[in-house]
Amino acid sequence: MAYVETQPRSAGLLARAPSGGLVLGAIASVQFGAALATHLFNQLGPAGTVLLRVATASVILVAIWTPRVRGRPRSELVLAAVFGLVLAGMNLAFYESIDRIPLGTAVTIEFVGPLAVAVIGSRRPLDLVWVALALAGILALTQGGTHSLDGLGVALALIAGCLWGAYIILNGRVGRAYERGTGVALSMCIASVALLPAGIASGGSHLIEPKSLAIGAAVGVLSSAIPYSFEQEALRRIAASVFGVLMSLEPAVAALAGLILLGQSLSAREVIGIALVVAASAGASRRIGEAPVDA
């Protein structure tokens, strides 16, 4: 039987939304969702929190997109599985990181992944300037200042960054292989299964408490369902360079979310470090070959 997909009304809404607006909306949603998630760490731990986030997001995405696997080529199913494992690892490493270091700092360090995607394979001397700027920014964040950063937290942010780079590459491929949000919905289900052992061990019976479920559902919507759907739709239509420049704002938005929701103020040194990484990422992204951009 041929694969047939019924398009939900939300698909039409995303298709009509400006591409730049989708990316900016995804950035704000995921960072404020991450700040909200930290309120669950005391009861569930980072692993339990990320399980609840991904599982609730999976339920929402499956309800919206109703993905089917019958009739799919094996290569597409393998692609969704790999993407799901990357999602699980990226989110777990990131949540373990923000349990140890401030949100804005973690996201800035994590940004080495997208920056690497932007400059790998380039032979332009100017790209070395962007790499140097990013390194200077990360050094400003991790050296000196009014407080020392947890070394494991920094390492986990770097791991999350590497997986974020893989996420960017795979997200576009999944978006082209699957109709609308069906690919990301299937991958989120796989991520949920992968996170079960660590999440249950960390959260235990607290995972099913009404308060935890309510906050977890909100985090799942803000940090997974909305941004992954928005980003995948945007990646169908805009140049990688434009997407990269817009995503460069993420460390600054993360710092703002940490300040507003968590009271995590930054020193002048840390603000300069974040600004350097944002500038480096924006500059490197603009060097990527241009493609037609949807208005």
pLDDT digit string, tens, across residues 151-201: 899 999 999 999 988 988 898 899 889 887 899 899 999 999 999 999 999
Query: Model pTM greater than 0.85?
Result: no
Q: Give domain status of residue 125, yes or no.
A: yes
Higher pLDDT, 31 or 292: 31
CB distance 108 to 120 below 8 Å: no
Q: Give domain status of residue 185, yes or no.
A: yes
Q: Give domain status of residue 192, yes or no.
A: yes
How much is the pLDDT for 145?
52
Closest CA to 107 of 2, 252, 261: 252
d(CA 141, CA 6): 48
Q: Give domain status of residue 275, yes or no.
A: yes
How much is the pLDDT for 287?
55
Burial of 259: CB neighbours in 10 Å, binned 0-12, 13-18, 19+: middle
User: Residues 59, 65, 66, CA angle at the centre, nearest 5°?
Assistant: 75
pLDDT tens figures, 25-48: 899 998 999 999 999 999 999 999
Report phi then psi at 82, rounded to 5.
-60, -45
Q: Give domain status of residue 10, yes or no.
A: no
Q: Give domain status of residue 293, yes or no.
A: no
Q: Which residue has the tokens 């949603």?
A: 29
CA distances from residue 255 to 45, 102, 128, 251 in whole angstroms, order as listed = 22, 8, 26, 6
pLDDT tens figures, 89-122: 999 999 999 999 999 999 989 988 878 877 776 6
State the DSSP code for 265: -
Using pLDDT thresholds of 50, 70 and 90, give the confidence band for residue 86: very high
How much is the pLDDT for 295?
32
Q: Which residue has the tokens 């795979």?
A: 170
Q: Give domain status of residue 255, yes or no.
A: yes
Q: Give domain status of residue 279, yes or no.
A: yes
pLDDT tens figures, 43-75: 999 999 999 999 998 998 898 888 888 889 999
Neighbours of 23 (CB within 10 A): 25
Higher pLDDT, 287 or 158: 158
Domain that holds residue 219: 19-285
How many domains does the structure of the chain reveal? 1
Q: Is the pLDDT of residue 146 over 70?
A: no
What type of residue sits at position 89? G
